[in-house]
Structure 1
Amino acid sequence: MLAKSIRLNRINGAVKVQGCLAGRDPVRLETPSARGEKTAIYTRLQHLQLAGDRDDSQFSGVAVQNYASDMEILDPTPNNKVFALEVLDDDAHSVKERDEAVKVILSAYKKKLRHRSNYHMGYPLNQALDYDGLTDLMQFCINNLGDPFIESNYGVHSREFEVGVLNWFAKLWQIEKDEFWGCVTSCGTEGNLHGLYVGRENLPDGILYASKDSHYSVFKAARMYRMDSVKVDSLGSGEMDYASFRTHLLENKHRPAIVNVNIGTTVKGAVDDLDKIIAILAETGYTQDRFYIHCDGALTGIMLPFMKDKRSMLSFSKPIGSISVSGHKFLGAPAPCGVIIMRYKAAKAMSSDVEYLNSRDTTITGSRNGQAPIQLWYALSRKGSKGIQQDVDKCLYNSRVLKDMLQAAGFSAMLNEMSNTVVFERPREEAFVRRWQLACEGDIAHVVVMPNHDVKKLEDFVLDYVRSNARMTGTPHVDRPVVPEDDAPIILPNYGSGAMSLTTEGYMQLEDPLDLDELMAPNVTTA
């Protein structure tokens, strides 16, 4: 493994290296002269730290010659510090030299991205779609500034693609074309900020109600808009505690309600019961003109209409005001994006004409990425509803497979209905958490099973988790063995390559048993 850092001191015009490297190649440095004629160059280093209180001006021209050149370097750093890859703007180098350096750096960075993408498990991102057909469009600065439905004087836009995408989502969530307004957003957070802002503009005296398991952007909106808010209790599953919701409504029944409904919570993937929330509002005396419901469907909002559960109906046939989703999560896109759909009459509360644009200001941001609508249109057109249905079915099935494998390995695991988020006990080894890019909260972690995760990948993850846990506990035993009702071993179905079972004594049994020395080896890798 490489040293965590290399420290450089400049002493009398020379560079002194402090630290130890175990990489295959030595560090090569060219010392900068007093006139700055040469620039320090280093190879096979993951990151560089300069001595002193970040007084690194004399080394501002350091160029990476072989950034991220082997698997060790590609693994995540052991801390949360970000390595700064300085801009190559040193006049001591020719344009040709800088161009060559840029090519080398970007080539190595692409290798790093490919490697880290293979271990992307904790955050929802669909990597199963090929966007090579859109690369030629990257030469254009496509800007959809202003309202998606109104032309402006800016002609390099993709409004026709954006409106097509919005019409698709309007049909999915059952609202007529002349009854909705919407736009493609930069991410799910912007969708929440927009939906809740419209709720506040329509009900200025309203109180925001959101469960404690809601996304952090919901409470960010409350702070930004100076809204009174109530954190409603959550059940252990992450779903809203409806008794707590009822109690808070009754305590504040003299003021309107702006309600955030989670269509898949961030950590546990729980889906709030929309019908039950609407019923409670009616039972506590809130008429439809005194409440506004925003549905945060970042990940699950696209999936839900393709599920067979009768509770999965997410529709504007119900008295809701807006729905927002992320585009890059379940559907997949090469850059973060999202979609919000809301009732047209509600959206009018925040619109105004702008002569400079020759359009209307109806969006949170001014300039908007015109590439995103094209990417979403491309994904929807290539995949189709049948393809999305297959992805939903695959993710739900594989989520159950992962939960079963984790439980059979002796780990506590939970999976909500209508969810592809598998929750389990937080791994003890932080290196394992970083390696698989797990999202953790308190004593739990989760894997979000996406269309690009096949069973083999899930099996690799579980086996690596078993090894990691053994290294940390010093024993091949699992911490909480699962004891079946009868005395027969728990045998997992042959989901992928390799069979795994758990005996009643709680020992892991593999087709190729691992000895304790291997399990305890600090440098063991499974990929």
Structure 2
Amino acid sequence: MDHVPSLVVDNGSVNEEVKINKEKEKRLIVLGRNIHTMCLEVTEPDVDDEVTGDREAYMAGVLARYKRALTERTKHHLGYPYNLDFDYGALSQLQHFSINNLGDPFIESNYGVHSRQFEVGVLDWFARLWELEKNEYWGYITNCGTEGNLHGILIGREVFPEGILYASRESHYSVFKAARMYRMECVKIDTLWSGEIDCDDFKAKLLQNQDKPAIINVNIGKFLHHCFSLSIPFSLPLTLFILTLTTIAGTTVKGAVDDLDLVIKKLEEAGFSQDRFYIHCDGALFGLMMPFVKRAPKVTFKKPIGSVSVSGHKFVGCPMPCGVQITRLNYVNALSRDVEYLASRDATIMGSRNGHAPIFLWYTLNRKGYRGFQKEVQKCLRNAHYFKDRLVEAGIGAMLNELSSTVVFERPHDEEFVRRWQLACKGNIAHVVVMPNITIEKLNEFLNELLEKRATWFQDGKDQPYCISSDVGEKNCLCALHK
């Protein structure tokens, strides 16, 4: 998306004017309310002990209202990929402890209030899922999915400091954040209407920089049609090329997954041999869903990948943002430093890390296991197809990428409606991410309210549904021009 340098401050919100499609139509991005207009001020307690009870009652009242607000907002949560269906009541007994897993997860530090035994147990579970032996991997529980991307790209940058970062235009914003943070040159690759990377454009831009190292970010969320396996001698030194794949994350808005095999084929056609690249897989959401779908491509370290990251607060469901990052042990040495202060080693992005998160993840993995996640994945995909079909039956343009639970449809005309249902929007499209907590009843409630609103938005004929053909293709658009 090309940004237009125009900012407008209006009623506490910042509106940014952007170009949203090929015709250079302009739309104002309406940001949320300024929190300073609604913040809860911190006031100093009175020195008089007699008012302590009143202060405690005041704070209890604030928290009670906040809980009611959270309950209401959770009921109308559709646009962001968070699983809000969890119960960690058994872990409330641990809230009195400051649990910090600072340093290397596999080396105990002098700080003894940690949860490394839970963290390594979780890492072992994911290493088995992705078929990497215990003595061949290194990883840690990150504070979010973005940190996993930052870490994967940082490994690439450390191996090839002069490398160029290549990324699909529809990659997650954290990829471009990494480019800015690490002062890396970044080349954006065009995409197809589905959101997949345009591999012809990818190859063309590789050929323009054959003499320079490359770090490549690729989003993958669709069934891979090309089925050839690659075997790479990992003992050989990496000499020129790093491929950073956002393999199973799917594009942020459309949930598309690029064809990994086709990407590798284009690399070979551009003259890059199999021993000259590093692959990071950003599995943010779909990384933990696709292993449980029979027809989906398999994420495994038996393929030539260097690292995988997923978000823990998305499909798994966790009350705090977190993630899992797994890489090959021999790659992490470029980042590792011994720290005397900790009596440990550190190769993480953040020094201190939330020690509660591994316990929450460990608890869920033990409760659900592989079979539990498989059932939830099947339910999400089934409900996503149901929702997409209902939208189309109602005359609303919609698209659902194969093996994805992200349903893309025409953007609602009312920003209040968008905020009420917490939809994620870009240009003329919005999406609903069907998570385990999204039931058929909730989808029907949303659809019924959307249809009622549409009846008022378009009743006088002045406004028409948005054309989404440039975003999802003409066959998926049901505007007046493409019906």
1:280-359 paired onto structure 2 within 5 Å: 280-310=266-296, 312-359=297-344
Taking the aligned partners of 1:420 and 1:168, their CA distance within structure 2 comes to 24
Q: Deviations over 1:353-384 (max 9, x none)?
A: 00000000111011100000001111111111
The corresponding residue for 1:135 is 92
* Structure with the larger RCO, 1 or 2 (CA within 8 Å, 6+ apart): 2
Percentage identity across paired residues of the two chains: 59
What SS is found at the alignment partner of 1:295? strand
How many Å apart are 1:476 and its aligned residue? Answer: 11
The corresponding residue for 2:377 is 392
Taking the aligned partners of 1:183 and 1:287, their CA distance within structure 2 comes to 30
How many Å apart are 1:288 and its aligned residue? Answer: 3.7
Amino acid at match of 1:273: D
> Are the counterparts in 2 of residues 331 and 379 from structure 1 also a CA contact under 8 Å?
yes
The corresponding residue for 1:495 is none
The corresponding residue for 2:433 is 448
Any unmatched runs of 5+ in structure 1? 1-48, 50-76, 482-527
> Are the counterparts in 2 of residues 259 and 291 from structure 1 also a CA contact under 8 Å?
no
Taking the aligned partners of 1:383 and 1:479, their CA distance within structure 2 comes to 46
What TM-score results when the alignment is normalised by the length of structure 1? 0.74
In the alignment, structure 1 residue 103 sits paired with structure 2 residue 103:
no
Closer, same or farther in 2 for the Cα pair 1:475/1:464, shift >3 Å? farther
Closer, same or farther in 2 for the Cα pair 1:480/1:109, shift >3 Å? closer
Indicate the structure (1 or 2) with the bigger Cα radius of gyration.
1
How many Å apart are 1:270 and its aligned residue? Answer: 0.5
Any unmatched runs of 5+ in structure 2? 1-10, 12-29, 220-247, 467-483
The corresponding residue for 1:84 is 39
What SS is found at the alignment partner of 1:174? coil
How many Å apart are 1:294 and its aligned residue? Answer: 1.5
Q: Among 123, 144, 155, which residue is 1:187 paired with? A: 144
> Are the counterparts in 2 of residues 327 and 337 from structure 1 also a CA contact under 8 Å?
yes
What SS is found at the alignment partner of 2:399? strand
Closer, same or farther in 2 for the Cα pair 1:410/1:120, shift >3 Å? same
Q: Deviations over 1:136-194 (max 9, x none)?
A: 11110000000001111110000010001111111111111111111000001100000
Closer, same or farther in 2 for the Cα pair 1:480/1:362, shift >3 Å? closer
What TM-score results when the alignment is normalised by the length of structure 2? 0.81
Structure 1 segments, 4+ long, off by >4 Å, are: 475-481
The corresponding residue for 1:464 is 449
How many Å apart are 1:343 and its aligned residue? Answer: 1.0
In the alignment, structure 1 residue 238 sits paired with structure 2 residue 195:
yes
In the alignment, structure 1 residue 166 sits paired with structure 2 residue 123:
yes
Taking the aligned partners of 1:372 and 1:459, their CA distance within structure 2 comes to 33
> Are the counterparts in 2 of residues 78 and 431 from structure 1 also a CA contact under 8 Å?
no
Amino acid at match of 1:301: G
Aligned Cα RMSD in Å? 2.1
The corresponding residue for 1:257 is 214
Q: Deviations over 1:500-525 (max 9, x none)?
A: xxxxxxxxxxxxxxxxxxxxxxxxxx
Taking the aligned partners of 1:96 and 1:249, their CA distance within structure 2 comes to 67
How many Å apart are 1:257 and its aligned residue? Answer: 2.0
In the alignment, structure 1 residue 429 sits paired with structure 2 residue 384:
no
> Are the counterparts in 2 of residues 470 and 476 from structure 1 also a CA contact under 8 Å?
no
Taking the aligned partners of 2:374 and 2:397, their CA distance within structure 1 comes to 30
> Are the counterparts in 2 of residues 398 and 455 from structure 1 also a CA contact under 8 Å?
yes
What SS is found at the alignment partner of 1:104? helix
Closer, same or farther in 2 for the Cα pair 1:79/1:216, shift >3 Å? closer
